[in-house]
Amino acid sequence: MKVLAVDYGNKRIGLALGDINLKVASPFKVLENRGDVWQKIRSIIDEHQVSIVLVGLPLTPRGKLGQRAKEVEEFVKNLREKLPECIEIITWDERYTTREAYWLLESLPASKRKKLKDSVSAYVILKEYLETL
């Protein structure tokens, strides 16, 4: 079963792909967050036969919903309206995933880190999810 992990941002959306049965994940791509993003996400889901969309939910350090988490919840609401009902959408606590992504990328030049951090953050979210299964 294929999973698409999403690290939502106002400017960019990081994506990672994985397989539940094989328990593998990899960074995939970064989308610019603008009008056509829904069609791009739908196309990726169709092309890769995704069954689950895993969206990182940026809770506060105390585990509460802050402003960023509310923005992600709005994104998830829109995603539910735009995707077929057969696609399961799960939110996942993503506290500290960006920090881990930067740690994974620390040996790269700053320009590469900036370019890859969103998809690697999505990868970290997906990796953590797969580890719980």
Containing structural domain, residue 55 = 2-132
**Alpha carbons 16 and 18: distance in angstroms, whole number:** 7
Model pTM score: 0.92
pLDDT tier at 104, thresholds 50, 70, 90? confident
Number of domains in the chain: 1
Over residues 37-84, the pLDDT tens digits come to 999 999 999 999 999 999 999 999 898 999 999 999 999 999 999 988
Q: What is the CATH number of the domain that holds 74?
A: 3.30.420.140
Q: Which percentage of the chain shows pLDDT scores above 90?
A: 74
Is residue 110 exposed (0-12), middle (13-18) or buried (19+ Cβ within 10 Å)? exposed
Q: And the tokens for 24?
A: 């593998």
